[in-house]
Structure 1
Amino acid sequence: MKFAIALFSPPHAPSSRRALRFAQSVLAGGHEIVRLFFYQDGVHSASANVVAPQDELDSAAEWTAFVREQQLDGVVCIAAALRRGILNEEEARRYERAAANLAQPWELSGLGQLHEATQVADRLICFGGA
């Protein structure tokens, strides 16, 4: 089965950890993840500047490692990211900001990527949000 996963909550939220565990289980079960799409406060999981307290799980770092190790398509909504100060090198130059903070291997893109993922996947699973 092919899954698209959307995350709407920040990395410190329980739903972020549940989404990560679900994604890991999907792959462990022999299924496929066609795209991870991070939207609203979920975009904070792609920031290289998120620092978790020492006594908490670092969900942002876990997400980044998971995407990198599994070579997944990790997409961050560009509008939500810009609104929250998460920029890649190109957007930092474009908006004349001092530094980029989008962690690798994440990529900025639009909601069209979420729509396309829903067309390819058998299931869209969403975590978090209002």
Structure 2
Amino acid sequence: MKFAIAVFSPAHAPSSRRALRFAQAAVAGGHEIVRLFFYQDGVHSASGNVVAPQDELDLAAEWRAFVSAQQLDAVVCIAAALRRGVLNAEEAQRYQRPAVNLPAPWELSGLGQLHEAAQGADRLMCFGGD
């Protein structure tokens, strides 16, 4: 089965952990993840500056490791990211900001990427949000 996964909650939220565990189980079960799409507060999961307390799971790092290991298409909504200060090098330069905190493997792109992923998947799984 082909899944598109949308994450709307930040890395410290239980729904982000559920999204990661679902994605890991899907891959382990032989399913395909068409795209991961991080939207709203979910964009914080892609920030390279998130630091988890030592007694908590570092879900941002776990997401990064999972995406890299599986070579997944992981997209961060550009509008949501800019609003929350999550910038790649190009956007930091464009808006003259000193910090870049969106490292590889993440890509900034528009909401159309979520629509495209949903069209190409058998199921769109959404985690978090209001």
Q: Percent identity?
A: 82
Question: Aligned residues, how many?
Answer: 130
Equivalent-residue separation in structure 2 for 1:104 and 1:57 (angstroms): 21
Q: Residues 64 and 103 of structure 1 are in contact (CA less than 8 Å); yes or no, is this contact kept in structure 2?
A: no
Deviates more, 1:96-105 or 1:44-53: 96-105
Task: Give the alignment of 1:109-128 within 5 angstroms.
Answer: 109-128=109-128
Q: What residue in structure 2 maps to residue 45 of structure 1? A: 45
- State the TM-score, normalized to the length of structure 2: 0.99
Residue in structure 2 matched with residue 107 of structure 1 by the alignment: 107
Q: CA RMSD in A?
A: 0.4
CA deviations over 1:8-56 (Å, ceiling 9, x no partner): 0000000000100000000000000000000000000000000000000
Q: Is the 8 A contact 1:6 1:39 kept in 2?
A: yes
The Cα shift of 1:99 comes to 1.8
Query: 1:60: Cα distance to partner?
Result: 0.3
* Residue 124 (structure 1) shift: 0.0
Structure 1 contact 2–31 (Cα < 8 Å) conserved: yes
Give per-residue Cα distances to partners, 1:53-92, cap 9 Å, x unaligned.
Answer: 0000000000011000100000000000000000000000
Deviant stretches of 4+, over 6 Å = none
- List aligned pairs for 1:30-69, cutoff 5 A: 30-69=30-69
- Normalised TM-score (structure 1): 0.99
SS in 2 for 1:5: strand
For 2:110 and 2:42, how far apart are their aligned partners in 1? 14
Q: Provide structure 1 residue ranges, at least 5 long, that are not aligned to the other structure.
A: none
CA deviation vs aligned residue, 1:94-122 (integer Å, no higher than 9, x gap): 00001210021000000000000011000
**Matched residues in 2 for 1:103 and 1:123: separation?**
28
Extract unaligned runs of 5+ from structure 2.
none
